[in-house]
Amino acid sequence: MMIARRDPRPGRSRTLARPSLERAPARAAGAALLIMLALAGCEDSEIPQGMRIVGGDAQAGASFIREYGCPACHTIPGIRSADGIVGPPLTEFALRAFIAGQYPNTPDNLVRWVMNAPDMAPRTAMPDMGIPEDRARHIAAYLYTLR
Amino acid sequence: MAWVSISAVAPLFEGQEGVQSVYGPRSPQAEAILTLSNLVFVSGAVIFVLVMGLLAWAILSRRRHPPFRKTTFIALGGFVFPAVTLGALMVYTVLVSLRISTPPGDEALQIHVTGHMWWWEVHYLGPNGERIETANELRLPVDRPVSISVTTKDVIHSFWIPSLAGKIDMIPGHVNRVAFTPTETGITRGQCAEYCGEQHAKMAFYVVVKPADRFDDWLSTQARPAPAPITEQYQAGRAAFISEGCGSCHTVRGLAGANGEIGPDLTHVGGRLSIGAGWLNGSVGNLAGWIASSQHLKPGNRMPSFDRLDGPTLRALAAWLESLE
């Protein structure tokens, strides 16, 4: 399938070597191993330098996201029953250019936003939930795993 | 013999003493129910193994006749054994039932709980017989008997706090009673145990067992009307509550015009552990989310989604409600 997609012209793909059936399981296992290795390294290596949160622990962030009730308003991948429709979905949050459409999506801005959104955008519907800075850092770290 | 077997099975359930589990009893009544269920479970398992063993023997054995007389076998296995085991079990069950359904004395704390689709209305009777209303949460003093009378406004529900007592049906126009004595402080959870409609699963509540003096403090706070708003934002929130007509469904004691009875009493909503009947943590964020999208979070509940409030108004309303402790 991969081969056909690379070169959609009929006939051409036949000239390329096709994986033999005997080798397929080994290849699949190899690919799975590569994917697992890539995912294992995800936390550190795949988050760009500019988006690392000092002192942020994504796993702790996930539990604070549940505790502070973010799921009631936001759709957040990886958080159980986080399918809120009040605020914007946070899918691929690390790829977003702006926070609330007005602040560049930098770690500093994100931590400030999580701690006290109305302070930055007085018309926002997102309440100030009194989240202390260390917890906001964990939450931000989680949001930057969403790619 | 049964006791040895129970202790052998018990480790299976270790680590299950969660916030809502029959395997973590916190009252003598729940403990009696757990012992009874373990006994039934273990003796049922023993009899099952015995019967399967006999069956295997009958199929695999080359002998054409049993080693004992047929009539003896039928008399013992078909009559004496069931009569003795079922009889003993029945006597024990009746004793346990008597023990857990003994009405408590006058010193018991009286609470009324009314089921709604999908929340719980809770009334305490104060020392002078006055009614103190709250919702979706029970707070109880430790080591004092509690008598809970239950009924329902709509369909049949079932009131169940697994670690404190057995299930009891909530039937329209009829009052049932359940009594127990919590022996441990801490938080446990109750759940509607009879399918009551679309949001049956989201019909839960927390039970907070406290030392007696802290319970008394809490009850006297609950008896008071809602505190006056102390900040501009709270004032704006209260104004929004009135102008949006929230008071036609909700009561906030001390606020003129807010005496609705369709939804939970919100006089002290900010002090509760959850909103939406055990569904969301009680926090300002969840309150705002609930107000703006209650029909999305719990489809079919009686409250419309107030999604036409602007941001600051929504925040003010949520903040004011959270301040009502």
Q: Confidence band (pLDDT; 50, 70, 90) for A56?
A: confident
Cα atoms in the Cβ-side hemisphere of radius 13 Å centred on B77 = 11
pLDDT digits over B127-182, tens only? 777 899 999 999 999 999 999 999 999 999 999 999 999 999 999 999 999 999 99
Written as six digits, the tokens of B235 are 């004032």
More confident residue, A53 or A78: A78
pLDDT digits over B1-55, tens only? 334 434 444 444 444 457 888 999 999 999 999 999 999 999 999 999 999 998 9
More confident residue, A7 or A72: A72
Give A 117-136 residues with CB within 8 A of chain B: 118, 122-130
Across the beta sheet with B137-141, the strand order is B137-141, B204-210, B186-192, B157-160, B168-170
What is the pLDDT at residue A32?
56
Give contacts of A89 with chain B, Cβ < 8 Å: none
Average pLDDT on A46-53 reads: 71
pLDDT digits over B71-103, tens only? 888 888 889 999 999 999 999 999 999 988 888
Question: How near does any CA of chain A get to the CA of B298, in Å?
Answer: 11
Give contacts of A128 with chain B, Cβ < 8 Å: 284, 315
Instruction: Give me the DSSP letters along B209-241.
Output: EE-HHHHHHHHHHHHSPPPPP-SHHHHHHHHHH
What is the pLDDT at residue A3?
40
Q: Is the pLDDT of residue A30 over 90?
A: no
Q: Is the pLDDT of residue B301 over 60?
A: yes
Average pLDDT on B113-118 reads: 95
Counting residues of chain B whose pLDDT is more than 90, the rounded percentage is 76
Query: What's the burial of B89, exposed, middle or buried (CB within 10 Å: 0-12/13-18/19+)?
Result: middle
Cα atoms in the Cβ-side hemisphere of radius 13 Å centred on B224 = 11
Query: What's the burial of B289, exposed, middle or buried (CB within 10 Å: 0-12/13-18/19+)?
Result: buried
* Interchain contact, B289 vs A124, CB within 8 Å: no
* Interchain contact, B289 vs A126, CB within 8 Å: no
* Interchain contact, B307 vs A73, CB within 8 Å: no
A145 vs A47: CA distance, rounded Å: 7
When CB atoms are compared, the residue of A86, A124, A128 closest to B293 is A86
* Packed helices A133-143 and A58-67: angle between N→C axes, nearest 10 degrees: 110
Q: Confidence band (pLDDT; 50, 70, 90) for B69?
A: confident
pLDDT digits over B239-252, tens only? 999 999 999 999 99
Least confident of A14-23, A45-54, B134-143, B196-205: A14-23
* Interchain contact, B286 vs A85, CB within 8 Å: no
What is the pLDDT at residue B125?
87
From the centroid of its chain, how far is CA B100?
Answer: 16
* Interchain contact, A69 vs B285, CB within 8 Å: yes
Query: What's the burial of A96, exposed, middle or buried (CB within 10 Å: 0-12/13-18/19+)?
Result: middle
User: Chain B contact for A67, CB < 8 A?
Assistant: yes
Give B 269-298 residues with CB within 8 A of chain A: 280-281, 283-286, 288-290, 292-293, 296-297
Q: Is the pLDDT of residue A17 over 90?
A: no
Cis before residue B290, ω within 30 degrees of 0?
A: no
When CB atoms are compared, the residue of B280, B307, B318 closest to A127 is B318
Nearest CA among A86, A60, A56, A79 for reference residue A146 = A79
Question: How near does any CA of chain B get to the CA of A75, in Å?
Answer: 12
More confident residue, B311 or A33: B311
